[in-house]
Amino acid sequence: MIALQPIVDQLKPLRNLAKHVDGAIEFASLRTAPTVLPAWYVIPTRETASQNERTSTIHQRVDVRFQVVVVLSAQARNQDKVREDLKTHVDAITGALLGWKHPEANGECHYDGGALLVSDGQRIAWAVQFRTSRTERKI
């Protein structure tokens, strides 16, 4: 698994948008919806390893997928036009991570889509998904 802190650190300069940027354990420890909004959480979602490429050592490519969960308040309503807060956050996250190289990765991060996680009338949570790869080696 790749470390989450470098991803969080890459997003922290965008604090003008997100009041809170954290990781998976912090997200999992929430007993209720976050109170400080907007909030972003970096969560690993999947790793898939290829077959070993060598006979005398271990050398495997590992495809890594992670997401940044954006949690926004859905309370305020503008009567004149549709709020574009979610697009603003997704664009900022994508701009910060698309093409960025995690220190443990083989190459840059690629956008991998998005998905609605929650919409409960109070908040909306959207996952911005990314993929990269790393190498697992053992001599």
Res 110 pLDDT > 90 = yes
- How far apart (Å, rounded) are the C-alpha atoms in residues 72 and 83? 11
- How far apart (Å, rounded) are the C-alpha atoms in residues 101 and 17? 22
Please state the pTM of the whole predicted model: 0.89
Residues of the chain with pLDDT > 70: what percent? 94
Beta strands in 14-120 (DSSP E): 20-22, 39-49, 58-73, 110-119
- How far apart (Å, rounded) are the C-alpha atoms in residues 139 and 137? 7
Tell me the per-residue pLDDT of 29-41, one tens digit each, with 9 for 90 and over: 988 888 889 999 9
Contacts of 73 (CB under 8 A, 6+ apart): 37, 38, 122, 123
Residues of the chain with pLDDT > 90: what percent? 63
pLDDT of 62 reads 93
* Residue 13 per-residue DSSP state: G
Tokens of 11: 């997003």
Tell me the per-residue pLDDT of 40-72, one tens digit each, with 9 for 90 and over: 999 999 999 888 876 778 888 899 999 999 999
pLDDT band at residue 87, thresholds of 50, 70 and 90?
Answer: very high
> Residue 54: exposed, middle, or buried by beta-carbon count in 10 A (0-12, 13-18, 19+)?
exposed
- How far apart (Å, rounded) are the C-alpha atoms in residues 104 and 125? 28
Tell me the per-residue pLDDT of 5-26, one tens digit each, with 9 for 90 and over: 999 999 999 989 999 999 999 9
Res 81 pLDDT > 80 = no
Please check whether residue 82 is in contact with residue 36, taking contact to mean a CB–CB distance below 8 angstroms. Answer: no
